């Protein structure tokens, strides 16, 4: 009995000290960050979500955050050009893992272990980049006012049935990199042989090809095309505004992981760290989930029906060479 | 006599052999100094970022990383047999849309400026509006109107006539040409209208005296005299169409029509990681096409005396009485106005007032909301963006037009041997695809000794660099029409170059200068492709803000901001037109 009491007492003491240390560290960090004045963030996180998080951070710390939003490729282009020229402006970068790893290989990032890392599942933590804070999941979204839920496809394989010919919109897999990754990773869901056949059958359906995943969702929301391959979160985001959208409950769906990294030449390194701490903390993760994101926190889900039942499979990362090869292959399949 | 010698000295100041005397004569002329200063500025603005892009096209590593000399980018870009049919598609697209835009603009300009058609002033003021809207919004509006499955026009026809399918399909080459032509019309209109306002009607009157009818005069005298302006507008619009990506991305991609720019996007700019070296090699190809057209334009307008219609004699283009036909002319202009302004603006208004866009039904009325306009009112980020863009538009357009007026004068009027190079220089940055040039500008200025990078000044530099050809084309076509006798009279009376320029030429050039200024203000208010890479996150102008909102699927907010920008620009245009020569008369 005494042993048990001693065990709990020591456990409690260590937790207390750890918390007190983290708090002291955080207070010290914020003090240093305040002296730097501001943090600068480059990223692909949606403006409304980023604005809400920045507001929360400012309220808590009084530190300003200047944010630059663009697609992941543009974020990489600008930050790498500044980095190489020795004029880095960004302290933190928030994009998906493929470009992030390319930047990491070129020494763009420094390792930072935020005290909030422990809140994420172990399998979601990269030894260098830290937690994969959100998964952006691709699935099938359809317009309920054009296609009755009973008539909607029930699986990926259903998409290639003749009744859906000319009714599918998707980003051009020869030019949109995330879609190219998605098509290339389909074998993870259905096995190589089936995936190869499915890709050819899908191309034969002559889907309407658009620039990226958003125009794909927009065309479904307006009813111009009834079915889209796009981010599942758009079913919630457009649905919130009144668009009659739903998504197909596939047993497993693939997507991309997103990280937040600290720049190795961050001009405001403490402010950058303080922002990362807040960004990965509960308050910010809950905020993000409420706005429709799938964050990597147990029990924290977006307000999308059956969100808890979605089985997430991470897409393969492709090297620059693999991207070039896939582009050639899909040009033959989808555009010929 | 002394003054006459001065005129001769200007003409003889060509430094063909670099003897001391000739250099001395050259440097004694104020116009030579103006040439050196203006030429120096333009050469720096265009060659400095372009040099980075040229260098990039000949190396195998990104800028900032030591690479090796290679021709592989050019081989990859141009040894591909697929590139050439696409180039042909681009030419069909470029000629079609540029030609159609000139037809629209010429008709609209003739009706609004030269005839007594009712409501012509209203048509004139509103014809510029599409230039204010980001081209991507205009393309999206037309997709919403003419897409075959639920485009509003098609859906209305299906409902009214009970047919199975609507007759229009935007996803086709004619659809692509039509939408791009509508986007390009305001630019052509401003250039042609400015030249038409400065025209001396004496030739027209002679033709009428000899018995020609109004239509015959228009076809045989007026339109041929407009040749410099028509060619200027057609050249600019052709190059702009060939290098445009927005409309093809929205219309050509779903239609599976490939043009040169969608290929550049697929192979270089949109690939992962972005292949800037290959993009630069493609850009050099577009540059060669653009420069060929500039050369052709110069050849076609080289005998400038033929087009001199603004002389020292008092003139005012007379108004043509169309009689009963004036209502038809107004009807035609109104139809163009519906296509150019009313339909896209109505769609944007609908998008701005709806929580999400859908084909309107009776229930739609209950869903209308002012939420997107409230967002503009309540968000300090939007207010800051408006302030930044207003500064860039007003100050940037003024700087650009000052430079354009001086450069145009030198290229059209002076006998300096290198004047043709100046015009070529101006076109260099403009011919690169927007995103490629933005990268060139970033590479050029990120490590520049004067710390302009990540300040509002670098955006200003970018705007002047990229859009100087617009200003120059607008002014040049007016200068070509001003007869030399006016300058000569001023010089004879003892005025120097600068006072002749200020007191004689600027007032005569005012329609062209104001037209150019208006074009630039409307573009600078919403430009994003160059701005995106260059602005500092703390000083965001409207263009990037619109782009981010679009990227986030906030079309309602984009449309609402687009409408407010249009309103502000119309006010600015109205004020600018007050100061225009022909308006104050």
What is the ipTM for the molecules in this complex? 0.76
DSSP string, B89-116: HHHHHHHHHHHHHHHHHHHHHIIIIIB-
pLDDT digits (tens, 9 = 90+) for B63-78: 677 889 999 999 998 8
User: Is A224's CB within 8 Å of B147's CB?
Assistant: yes
Residues 256-285 of B with CB under 8 A from A: 256, 258, 262, 265-266, 270-274, 276
Q: What is the CATH number of domain A38-134+258-307?
A: 3.40.190.10
Does the structure show a pLDDT above 80 at A126?
Answer: yes
Q: Cα–Cα distance between A51 and A74 in angstroms, integer?
A: 20
Are B146 and B153 contacting, i.e. CB atoms less than 8 angstroms apart? yes
DSSP string, B2-36: HHHHHHHHHHT---SS--HHHHHHHHHSHHHHHHH
pLDDT (mean) for A207-232: 92
* Domains in chain B with CATH codes: 2-308+326-584 (1.10.3720.10)
Please check whether the two domains, A38-134+258-307 and A135-255+309-335, share a CATH topology: yes
C-alpha to C-alpha distances, A45 to A60, A169, A215, nearest whole angstrom:
21, 24, 17
- What is the predicted pLDDT for the residue at B312? 47
Q: How far is A267 from chain B (nearest CA, A)?
A: 14
Q: Any idea how long chain B is?
A: 585
Are B461 and B396 contacting, i.e. CB atoms less than 8 angstroms apart? no
Partners of residue B65 in chain A, C-beta under 8 Å: 84
Most B CBs within 10 A among A78, A166, A225, A244, hence the mutation to make, goes to A78
Residue whose pair of structure tokens reads 């409207």 in the numeric block: B542
Are B282 and B209 contacting, i.e. CB atoms less than 8 angstroms apart? no
* Greater pLDDT, A321 or A249: A249
Q: For A92-96, A184-188, A224-228, B427-431, which range has the lowest pLDDT when averaged over its residues? A: B427-431
Strand partners, B279: none
- What is the predicted pLDDT for the residue at B13? 44
Domain ranges of chain A: 38-134+258-307, 135-255+309-335
**Nearest residue of A to residue B357, measured between CA atoms:** A222
Strand partners, A41: A67, A92
Q: Cα–Cα distance between A182 and A137 in angstroms, integer?
A: 10
Which segments of B414-530 does DSSP mark as H helices, in order?
A: 419-431, 434-446, 456-481, 484-492, 497-500, 506-524
DSSP SS3 for B379: coil
Listed residue (A95, A89, A41) closest to A63, CA to CA: A41
- What is the predicted pLDDT for the residue at A235? 94
- What is the predicted pLDDT for the residue at A8? 60
Are B476 and B412 contacting, i.e. CB atoms less than 8 angstroms apart? yes
Give the pairing of strands A64-69 and A38-43. parallel
User: Is B150's CB within 8 Å of A234's CB?
Assistant: no
- What is the predicted pLDDT for the residue at A169? 95
Tally helices (H) and strands (E) across chain B.
32, 0
- What is the predicted pLDDT for the residue at B585? 39
Which segments of chain A does DSSP mark as H helices, in order?
A: 2-36, 47-61, 72-84, 97-105, 177-184, 187-190, 192-204, 213-221, 233-240, 269-279, 282-290, 320-335
Say whether pTM exceeds 0.90. no
Does the structure show a pLDDT above 70 at A23?
Answer: no
Does the structure show a pLDDT above 80 at A188?
Answer: yes
- What is the predicted pLDDT for the residue at B503? 79
Q: Is B149 on the interface with A (CB under 8 A)?
A: yes
pLDDT digits (tens, 9 = 90+) for A257-272: 999 999 999 999 999 9
Strand partners, A228: A141, A169
Partners of residue A223 in chain B, C-beta under 8 Å: 149-150, 358-359
Pair of tokens at residue A209:
């090809």
- What is the predicted pLDDT for the residue at B282? 85
Q: Cα–Cα distance between A262 and A60 in angstroms, integer?
A: 20
Nearest Cβ partner for A85 among B447, B551, B552: B447
Tell me the backbone φ, ψ of residue B268, rounded to 5 degrees: -125, -65
Q: How far is A296 from chain B (nearest CA, A)?
A: 22
pLDDT tens series, chain B, 585 aa:
344 444 434 444 444 455 566 666 666 677 778 788 888 998 898 888 888 888 888 998 876 778 899 999 999 988 888 888 888 999 999 999 999 999 999 999 988 888 888 888 778 777 777 777 878 888 889 988 999 988 899 989 998 988 888 899 999 999 999 999 999 998 888 888 877 876 767 777 777 777 777 777 777 777 787 888 888 889 888 888 887 887 888 888 888 888 888 888 777 777 777 788 888 888 888 778 877 877 777 676 655 444 555 554 545 566 777 777 888 888 988 998 899 888 999 999 999 998 888 778 777 788 889 999 999 998 888 999 999 999 999 999 999 999 998 888 888 777 777 777 887 788 777 767 676 777 788 778 877 888 888 788 889 998 998 888 888 877 887 777 777 777 778 778 877 777 777 778 778 888 888 888 888 998 898 887 778 777 877 788 998 888 778 777 788 898 999 899 888 888 888 887 776 654 443
Q: Cα–Cα distance between B12 and B35 in angstroms, integer?
A: 15
Residues 324-363 of B with CB under 8 A from A: 355-359
- What is the predicted pLDDT for the residue at A11? 56
CATH architecture of A135-255+309-335: 3-Layer(aba) Sandwich (3.40)
Q: How far is B124 from chain A (nearest CA, A)?
A: 34
Peptide bond into B6 cis (omega under 30): no
Q: Cα–Cα distance between A260 and B281 in angstroms, integer?
A: 34
């Amino acid at each position: 009995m005494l042993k048990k009491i001693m065990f709990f007492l020591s456990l409690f003491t260590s937790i207390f000290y750890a918390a007190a240390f983290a708090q002291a560290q955080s207070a010290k960090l914020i003090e240093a960050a305040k002296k730097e004045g501001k943090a600068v963030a480059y990223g692909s996180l949606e403006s409304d979500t980023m604005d809400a998080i920045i507001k929360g951070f400012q309220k808590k710390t009084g530190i300003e955050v200047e944010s630059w939003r663009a697609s992941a490729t543009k974020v990489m282009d600008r930050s790498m050009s500044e980095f190489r020229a020795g004029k880095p402006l960004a302290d933190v970068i928030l994009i998906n893992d493929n470009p992030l790893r390319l930047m990491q290989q070129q020494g763009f990032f420094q390792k930072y272990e935020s005290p909030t890392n422990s809140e994420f599942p172990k399998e979601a933590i990269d030894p260098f980049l830290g937690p994969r804070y959100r998964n952006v999941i691709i699935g099938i979204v359809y317009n309920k006012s054009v296609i009755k839920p009973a008539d909607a496809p029930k699986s990926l394989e259903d998409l290639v049935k003749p009744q859906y010919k000319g009714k599918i919109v998707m980003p051009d897999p020869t030019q949109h990199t995330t879609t190219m990754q998605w098509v290339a990773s389909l074998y993870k869901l259905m096995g190589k042989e089936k995936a190869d056949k499915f890709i050819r059958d899908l191309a034969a359906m002559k889907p309407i090809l658009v620039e990226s995943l958003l125009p794909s969702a927009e065309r479904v929301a307006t009813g111009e095309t009834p079915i889209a391959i796009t981010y599942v979160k758009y079913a919630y985001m457009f649905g919130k505004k009144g668009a009659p959208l739903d998504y197909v409950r596939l047993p497993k769906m693939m997507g991309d992981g997103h990280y937040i990294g600290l720049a190795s030449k961050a001009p405001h390194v403490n402010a950058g760290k303080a922002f990362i701490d807040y960004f990965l903390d509960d308050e910010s993760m809950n905020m993000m989930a409420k706005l429709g994101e799938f964050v990597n926190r147990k029990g924290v889900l977006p307000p999308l029906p059956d969100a808890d039942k979605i089985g997430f499979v991470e897409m393969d990362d492709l090297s620059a060479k693999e991207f070039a090869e896939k582009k050639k292959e899909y040009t033959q399949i989808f555009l010929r | 006599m002394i003054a006459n010698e001065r005129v001769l000295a200007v003409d003889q100041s060509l430094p063909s052999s670099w003897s001391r005397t000739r250099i001395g004569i050259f440097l004694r002329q104020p116009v030579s100094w103006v040439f050196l200063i203006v030429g120096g500025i333009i050469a720096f603005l265009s060659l400095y970022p372009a040099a980075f892009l040229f260098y990039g096209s000949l190396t195998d590593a990104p800028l900032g990383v030591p690479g090796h000399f290679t021709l592989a980018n050019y081989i990859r870009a141009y040894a591909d047999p697929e590139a050439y049919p696409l180039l042909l598609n681009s030419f069909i697209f470029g000629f079609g849309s540029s030609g159609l835009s000139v037809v629209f603009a010429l008709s609209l300009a003739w009706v609004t400026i030269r005839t007594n058609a009712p409501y012509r002033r209203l048509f004139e003021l509103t014809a510029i509006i599409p230039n204010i809207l980001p081209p991507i919004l205009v393309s999206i509006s037309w997709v919403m109107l003419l897409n075959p499955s639920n485009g509003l026009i098609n859906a209305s026809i299906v409902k009214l006539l009970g047919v199975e399918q609507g007759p229009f399909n935007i996803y086709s080459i004619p659809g692509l040409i039509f939408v791009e032509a509508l986007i390009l019309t305001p630019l052509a209109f401003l250039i042609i209208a400015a030249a038409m306002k400065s025209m001396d009607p004496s030739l027209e009157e002679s033709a009428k005296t000899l018995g020609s009818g109004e239509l015959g005069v228009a076809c045989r005298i007026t339109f041929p005299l407009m040749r410099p302006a028509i060619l200027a507008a057609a050249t600019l619009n052709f190059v702009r169409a060939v290098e445009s990506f927005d409309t093809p991305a929205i219309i050509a991609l779903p239609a599976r029509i490939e043009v040169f720019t969608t290929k550049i996007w697929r192979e270089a700019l949109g690939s992962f990681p972005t292949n800037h070296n290959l993009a630069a090699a493609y850009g050099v190809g577009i540059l060669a096409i653009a420069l060929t057209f500039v050369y052709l334009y110069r050849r076609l307008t080289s005998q400038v005396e033929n087009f001199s219609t603004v002389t020292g004699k008092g003139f005012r283009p007379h108004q043509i009485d169309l009689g009963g036909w004036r209502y038809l002319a107004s009807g035609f202009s109104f139809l163009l106005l519906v296509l150019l302004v009313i339909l896209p603006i109505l769609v944007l208004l609908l998008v701005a007032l709806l929580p999400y866009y859908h084909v309107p039904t009776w229930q739609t009325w209950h869903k209308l909301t002012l939420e997107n306009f409230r967002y503009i009112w309540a968000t300090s980020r939007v207010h800051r963006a408006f302030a930044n863009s207003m500064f860039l538009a007003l100050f940037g357009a003024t700087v650009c037009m000052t430079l354009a007026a001086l450069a145009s004068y030198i290229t059209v009027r002076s006998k300096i041997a290198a004047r043709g190079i100046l015009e070529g220089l101006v076109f260099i940055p403009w011919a690169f695809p927007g995103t490629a040039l933005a990268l060139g500008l970033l590479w050029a200025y990120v490590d520049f000794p004067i710390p302009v990078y990540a300040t509002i000044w670098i955006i200003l530099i970018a705007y002047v660099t990229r859009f100087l050809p617009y200003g120059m084309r607008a002014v040049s076509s007016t200068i070509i029409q001003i007869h030399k006798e006016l300058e000569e009279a001023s010089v004879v009376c003892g005025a120097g170059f600068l006072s002749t320029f200020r007191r004689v030429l600027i007032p005569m050039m005012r329609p062209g200068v104001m037209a150019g200024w208006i074009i630039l203000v409307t573009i600078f208010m919403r430009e994003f492709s160059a701005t995106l890479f260059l602005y500092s996150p703390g000083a965001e102008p409207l263009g990037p803000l619109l782009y981010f909102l679009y990227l986030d699927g906030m079309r309602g907010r984009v449309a609402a901001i687009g409408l407010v920008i249009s309103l502000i620009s119309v006010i600015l245009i109205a004020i600018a037109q007050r100061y225009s020569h022909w308006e104050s008369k």
